[in-house]
A and B are shown apart, each in its own frame.
Chain A
């Protein structure tokens, strides 16, 4: 089984926004829905200022919090590592949107669903490249199979000393002379998601279950005793 990933070479990216637009065209997205974005940053103080661009998108996390919180199972991680949203199962509760540590999900107010980068899975299945990779005139993006050591992606990761954002499927080649703080942080499950899913849900269900059990026990005991002193 493949495990798909992507490398973005920021030494090549010119910040043209071609990826954002090509993606929107392929997926027929609303203008405000952008699966991949281009951010400009500046570092240092005048006159020693450096600037550049970083692209962001769904990181296709190894253990995606968006899939954990999804109450319908519309968001799930496929065996090939791609995190998808089955849009017809999405009810637009937007739990995933606040669970995502990378702010990589967009709400579509017309269809009342949440959408995000799908790594162009159905095009990839047909042997095509993702739209952002296809369109990138600087060839800054490489898509491929991380498990295939011979793939263009695997070779580029080694050759260009790419940095993996830990816990995700995304690699960056950082711009020369710039520290990695401009890149998205390594994966960490948000505290609110952990407390919600690991403590609140099981704890709350236990409380409700105990209450229901107490009521049933009370009903049984009272029935055996044949009613109270008020009847």
Chain B
């Protein structure tokens, strides 16, 4: 018997996630060569010039593509996501406090969560803020000849800071999606859109109950009809 699965992310949500994820990783790999000296000398001047071209091309999908996909492809779930990210309750703060133990595979009881757990909400907020910072400072650097020199001088440290902080965040994000035994089921939500019902019940109980309640309602309506 195949495991029961429930839909967590629709196609537009997944495309939005991956257009952002792929462009970010390419930007990080091509950009961080200018921060890590050993990496820069490994790539060499020719490679770095190629990196620059890739970095500049990727600025377009990074800035615009994800926003377009989410806004036009799935405005309702995007709105829901943003609303959930900005709503923080007792359970969320307790989740964040308890999560380091979970991260390192130690025993811990995590409070009940919605479609997005508090860690995912924090990751979303950091990603939104970080992306706005990176896009804003990045475009200042691309358009440096038409902006004030002082703006360029300060965009440089801010662009580096944002890249390194978001680089740290994505390492944890990838680990939780692919490597962590309890949470790695979540990657299926971003690939096929569906996660195991058991995973949904255990990790996103509040969302799972609503999902079931909605299904029962639909079934009930069908019966009446």
Residues on A facing B (Cβ under 8 Å): 69, 71-74, 88-95, 98-99, 103, 112, 190, 192-193, 195-196, 199-201, 203-205, 207-208, 210-212, 214-215, 217-219, 221-222, 225, 227-231
Contacts and interface: CB of A to CB of B under 8 A. Distances in A.
B4 to A, nearest CB: 15
Contact of B144 (A94, A199, A205, A225): A94
Given A214-B172, A221-B106, A200 B45 contact: no
B165 interface: yes
Contact of A221 (B49, B104, B163, B184): B104
19 contacts: A72-B40, A72-B41, A73-B37, A73-B41, A98-B152, A112-B49, A192-B157, A200-B157, A201-B160, A201-B164, A208-B167, A212-B168, A214-B172, A218-B179, A219-B175, A222-B180, A228-B182, A230-B181, A230-B184
A229 B182 contact: yes
A100 to B, nearest CB: 10
A71 B35 contact: yes
Given A228-B181, A230-B182, A218 B175 contact: yes
A56 B160 CA distance: 31
Interface residues of B, number: 43
B34 A93 contact: yes
B175 A190 contact: no
Given A218-B175, A230-B202, A95 B156 contact: yes
B52 A208 contact: no
Given A93-B52, A200-B161, A228 B37 contact: no
Contact of B164 (A74, A95, A98, A204): A204
B165 A92 contact: no
A207 B165 CA distance: 6
B152 A208 contact: no
A195 B155 CA distance: 12
A216 to B, nearest CB: 9
A188 to B, nearest CB: 14
Given A91-B48, A210-B168, A211-B171, A222 B181 contact: yes
Contacts of B106: 221
B105 interface: yes
A66 B154 CA distance: 15
Contact of A230 (B41, B144, B185): B185
B18 to A, nearest CB: 21
In the A-B complex, the 4 residue pairs with the closest CB atoms: A204-B164, A228-B181, A211-B168, A196-B157
A214 B35 CA distance: 21
Contact of B181 (A200, A214, A227): A227
Interface in B9-55: 33-37, 40-41, 45, 48-49, 52
Interface in B148-204: 149, 152-154, 156-157, 160-161, 163-165, 167-169, 171-172, 174-175, 179-182, 184-185, 198-199, 202
Contact of B154 (A89, A92, A192, A217): A192
Given A204-B160, A207-B165, A212-B171, A228 B105 contact: yes
Contacts of A72: 40-41, 45, 48
Nearest to A94: B144
A88 B48 CA distance: 12
Contacts of A207: 164-165, 168
Contact of A196 (B37, B49, B160): B160
B139 interface: no
B103 interface: yes
A158 B153 CA distance: 37
Contacts of B198: 230
Interface string B119-147: 00000000000000000000000001000
A218 B180 contact: yes
Given A72-B45, A228-B180, A190 B153 contact: yes
Contact of B105 (A196, A200, A218): A218
A98 B153 contact: yes
Contact of B40 (A71, A90, A92, A229): A71
B149 A98 contact: yes
Given A91-B49, A214-B172, A204 B180 contact: no
A222 B184 CA distance: 12
